[in-house]
């Protein structure tokens, strides 16, 4: 018996979400390949430089917003169902959020890809941050809004299951998989307030022509109200995998249940009131707010540093149970020949490196050294592009058999895949970081200028260009391997009653040691709202006091 046999309905929902996620990954990944070759001037024959920005919008939206959201939905359906031991409460409701998100995705994708049709009036080359006054077709904003509304409904679905479960189990502690899901969704509700205000309150009416002028700083600020927490919305499900599943894949147990819960609570509290750290270089925001955001941001290092310890200690526990010895020699005893483990572990290593560049980004004045340079994509391809994406791919090797009742095929290819991703990303990302230090901008189709040359501090421009192009190519190959393994296993994997060992052992320090207050969702949610109000009420008030749409700028076609 595995998941699909016990919960056939939930398995179907999870699989549907994964299908959309992987299609988005395939299209978005292809655009990434084109970008890597185009930017570096290795090959510009696919599309012209004006179309580059349509592709880049597609890459950002399909990978950072769509792939992540759908994968997370599938993962959470699996975890909530399993840990509460109940199928979704009402399947019509469950499928309605899935279809709402899917329709929204199709609308946004059509709006973006319309930009590749000559003279099309349906365009959305506004990138995934869609700062006005560059204007996209209304389909784009409405589609994204539907995705978000669908994700809210999905969250409500999991709370619904939880309430039912609570009714039947009044004295039990929230199972850890559900705990992590619910706290991630609470954070999502807090941060998407900003996005909803921006998109529904400002951008949709404006793109429909109901208002003509818009004040650019206000939607930008609302976007970043959402925009930092969204990175934790991607990351926390990866942490969820690292806390709940990776210890077992390493042959051990989660080190501490309490620390896991504490970490998720800190993320709920601090993820949103830090958004100004994306606006250190913005006029119109006082230095005091920037400083406050920086202090809170650096405090957010704490839960990630705790995660580092707890997760590594859980892996070390596994290694020691597998016979590992010594201070560092135990690392060799980890299952470096199992794709799911390898992917998660390599993702974690890259995250440690990305953590460092994140510390630089977060630290107010030094941010100006790298703000809007290609350093920043270098950073987040380590975090969302690897820590999150590679973890999701790796855990698919473990989840898919449970959802389909079929064994994984092509285990060797599946094993090569995470190593290839790691190699490709090492090449691409280190070069992006160094090029950024020389001042090479991000989001630029042809970062070559007539009047001056970039002067790199480490390495040469030629070497970096080739590392980005070759790294991007290796990443693309890795992605194709992943898709191939998934499709082959899904369609033709050997059917089995127990296609994978899906048992999750209890933590070393279990929930019996965890203070009950950590499970008090009302308390933590209220506190999170208070912190957001403290951080944002005054600056937002200042921005709208002179009129919501003024000083107003006119829309510009994208």
Which residues belong to the active site? 228, 232, 379-381, 442-443
Question: Residue 228 binds which one of ligand HEM, other proteins, Cu ion, none, with CB within 5 to 8 A depending on kind?
Answer: Cu ion
15 binds other proteins (CB under 8 A): no
36 binds ligand HEM (CB under 6 A): yes
CA 228 to chain centre: 11
Long-range CB pairs of 291-300, under 8 A, 24+ apart, other chains included: 291/364, 292/535, 293/535, 294/362, 294/363, 294/364, 296/270, 296/535, 297/228, 297/362, 298/359, 298/362, 298/363, 299/270, 300/266, 300/267, 300/270, 300/271, 300/274
228 binds Cu ion (CB under 5 A): yes
382 binds ligand HEM (CB under 6 A): no
Residue 479 CB, nearest approach to ligand HEM (Å): 5
What is the H or E stretch that residue 557 is in? strand 556-557
406 binds Cu ion (CB under 5 A): no
φ and ψ of 423, to 5 deg: -65, -50
What is the H or E stretch that residue 134 is in? strand 134-135
Whose structure tokens read 């890459």?
59
295 binds other proteins (CB under 8 A): yes
39 binds Cu ion (CB under 5 A): no
38 binds Cu ion (CB under 5 A): no
> What letter does residue 60 receive in the DSSP assignment?
I
Question: Residue 538 binds which one of ligand HEM, other proteins, Cu ion, none, with CB within 5 to 8 A depending on kind?
Answer: none
CB 123 within 8 A of CB 150: no
CA distance 388 to 264: 16
Residue 29 CB, nearest approach to ligand HEM (Å): 4
Read off the tokens for 22. 């992987």
Residue 497 CB, nearest approach to other proteins (Å): 10
Q: What is the dihedral of CA 97, 390, 468, 20, to 10 degrees?
A: -20
Instruction: Tell which positions 475-514 bind ligand HEM, by CB under 6 A.
Output: 475-476, 479
Instruction: Tell which positions 59-98 bind other proteins, by CB under 8 A.
Output: 82-83, 85
Segment lying near other proteins (by CB under 8 A), choices 191-199, 421-429, 475-483, 501-509: 501-509
Question: Residue 205 binds which one of Cu ion, ligand HEM, other proteins, none, with CB within 5 to 8 A depending on kind?
Answer: none
Question: Residue 476 binds which one of Cu ion, ligand HEM, other proteins, none, with CB within 5 to 8 A depending on kind?
Answer: ligand HEM
- Taking each helix axis as running N to C, give the angle between helix 229-244 and helix 339-362, from 0 to 180 degrees, rounded to the nearest 10: 150
CB 406 within 8 A of CB 490: yes
CA distance 168 to 181: 20
112 binds ligand HEM (CB under 6 A): no
Residue 69 CB, nearest approach to Cu ion (Å): 18
Site mask for ligand HEM (CB under 6 A), range 143-162, x = bound: --------------------
φ and ψ of 328, to 5 deg: -125, -15
CA distance 221 to 261: 30
Please identify which residue in 317, 409, 442, 465 interacts with ligand HEM, judged by CB under 6 A. 442
Segment lying near other proteins (by CB under 8 A), choices 136-144, 275-283, 390-398, 475-483: 275-283
Please identify which residue in 97, 128, 165, 239 interacts with ligand HEM, judged by CB under 6 A. 128
What is the contact surface with Cu ion in residues (CB under 5 A)? 228
Binding site for ligand HEM (CB under 6 A): 29, 32-33, 35-36, 39, 56, 59-60, 63-64, 67, 127-128, 377, 381, 384-385, 389, 442-444, 472, 475-476, 479
């Amino acid at each position: 018996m595995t998941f699909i046999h016990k919960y056939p309905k939930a398995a179907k929902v999870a699989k549907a979400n994964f299908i959309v996620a992987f299609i988005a990954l395939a299209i978005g990944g292809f655009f990434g390949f084109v970008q890597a070759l185009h930017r570096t001037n290795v090959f510009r024959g696919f599309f012209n430089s004006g179309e580059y920005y349509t592709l880049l919008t597609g890459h950002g939206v399909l990978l950072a917003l769509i792939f992540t959201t759908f994968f997370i939905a599938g993962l959470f359906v699996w975890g909530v169902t399993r840990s509460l031991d109940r199928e979704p409460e009402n399947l019509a409701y469950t499928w309605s959020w899935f279809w709402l998100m899917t329709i929204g995705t199709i609308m946004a994708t059509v709006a973006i890809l319309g930009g590749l049709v000559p003279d099309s009036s349906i365009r959305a080359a506004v990138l995934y941050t869609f700062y006005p006054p560059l204007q996209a077709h209304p389909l784009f904003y409405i589609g994204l809004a539907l995705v978000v509304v669908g994700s809210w409904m999905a969250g409500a679905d999991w709370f619904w299951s939880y309430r039912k479960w609570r009714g039947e189990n009044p004295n039990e502690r929230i199972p850890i998989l559900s705990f992590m899901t619910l706290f991630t969704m609470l954070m999502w509700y807090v941060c998407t307030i900003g996005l909803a205000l921006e998109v529904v309150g400002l951008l949709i009416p404006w793109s429909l022509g109901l208002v003509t002028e818009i004040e650019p700083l206000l939607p930008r600020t609302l976007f970043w109200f959402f925009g930092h927490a969204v990175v934790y919305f991607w990351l926390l499900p990866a942490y969820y995998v690292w806390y709940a599943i990776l210890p077992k894949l390493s042959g051990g147990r989660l080190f501490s249940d309490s620390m896991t819960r504490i970490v998720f609570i800190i993320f709920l509290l601090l993820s949103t009131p830090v958004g100004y750290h994306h606006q250190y270089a913005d006029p119109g925001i006082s230095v005091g707010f920037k400083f406050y955001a920086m202090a809170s941001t650096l405090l957010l290092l704490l839960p990630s540093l705790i995660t580092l310890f707890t997760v590594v200690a859980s892996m070390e526990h596994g290694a020691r149970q597998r016979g590992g010895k010594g201070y560092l020699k135990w690392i060799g005893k980890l299952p470096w020949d199992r794709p799911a483990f390898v992917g998660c572990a390599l993702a974690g290593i890259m995250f440690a490196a990305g953590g460092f560049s994140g510390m630089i980004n977060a630290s107010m004045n030094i941010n100006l050294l790298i703000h809007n340079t290609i350093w920043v994509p270098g950073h987040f391809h380590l975090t969302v592009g690897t820590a999150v994406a590679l973890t999701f791919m790796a855990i698919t090797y473990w989840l898919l058999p449970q959802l389909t009742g079929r064994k994984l095929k092509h285990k060797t290819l599946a094993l090569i895949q995470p190593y290839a991703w790691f190699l490709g990303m090492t090449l691409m990302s280190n070069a992006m970081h160094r090029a950024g230090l020389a001042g090479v901008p991000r989001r630029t189709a042809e970062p070559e200028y007539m009047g001056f040359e970039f002067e790199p501090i480490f390495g040469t421009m030629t070497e970096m260009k080739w590392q980005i192009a070759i790294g991007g190519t290796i990443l693309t190959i890795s992605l194709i391997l992943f898709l191939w393994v998934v499709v082959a296993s899904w369609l033709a994997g050997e059917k089995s009653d127990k296609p994978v060992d899906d048992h999750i052992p209890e933590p070393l320090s279990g929930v019996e040691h965890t203070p009950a207050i950590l499970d008090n969702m009302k308390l933590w949610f209220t506190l999170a709202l208070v912190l957001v109000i403290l951080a944002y009420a005054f600056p937002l008030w200042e921005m709208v006091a002179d009129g919501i749409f003024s000083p107003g700028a006119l829309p510009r076609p994208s």
